Every structure is written in structure tokens, then in C-alpha cells.
Amino acid sequence: MKKHGVLHAELSRCIAALGHKDLFMIGDAGMPIPPGVEIIDLAVTAGVPTFRQVLDAVLEEAEVEGYYLADEIRTHNEPQHAYLQQKLKGVPAEYMPHDELKTFSAKAKFAIRTGEFSPYPNVILRAGVVF
């Protein structure tokens, strides 16, 4: 049995399979996932697990060189926006309207659904390299 890090078998597999520049998403419980994008559904109930819990676990395992957010997070969910900026300090961000982010998410290799119930805590991450 794995002792630490991401224990969820499918999520661990997806993270391990990431290559440089691959996109993947962490989203709230209501974020639509486009057809063809693998879904890692972690949502158990409202708020479980939180977006922050999942983001923290994923960032311990995956190298990120860029990320994409909805413009709306700036005005409708400043606490999550500030948290993302803190956790990804120094990593460039790009913003787009939420509808465009939903369309853009079709390029993701996989999407992680959390139990988050706050508005717009959806991020598309671009995998980096560790060397």
C-alpha cells in the first residue's frame, strides 16, 4: 500500500502519466466536463473534499508551469483566487471568461471533480518539467 501522497489510484495514475505541456483541470462540483475528458470524481458531499484540499495534494505530486482561470473568480471568489495565487506564486496565469474556460477544458487530459460549492474555483493547470 502506498504510504503518502495521492492515494486515489486513478488520480495517481493520471498525474504520473502527465507530460510536459499537458493540461488537466481541478473543478468544483458543478463544473461541466466535456465529453472525452477523463473524469476523476472525488466529490463525496457538499464541501468534501474542498478545492483547496485537492489542489494542495495535486501540487505536491505535479510540476506546474502555467494555469488558466475564469475572469469571474476575481470578483466572485476572491478567497479562492488569492489562495491559488499564493500556492502558484511565480507561475504565470491566464484569464478568460468562464464560458471560454469551459470550452478550453476540452483540451485537458483529465479533470478532477471536487465537492467544492463556492463559485468559480476551477483551474486548468499546465504540466511542467522538474529538470
Reported for 4-8, long-range contacts at CB under 8 A and 24+ positions apart, including other chains, are 5/57, 5/60, 5/61, 6/57, 6/58, 6/60, 6/61, 8/40, 8/42
* Residues known to be catalytic: 20
Residue with cell 470550452: 103
Quick one: cell of 130? 522538474
Q: Residues comprising the binding site for substrate?
A: 28, 98
Binding residues: 28, 98
Nearest one of 117, 65, 116 to 94, comparing CA atoms: 65
**Cα distances (Å, whole numbers) of residue 12 to 5, 76, 106, 117:** 9, 31, 21, 24
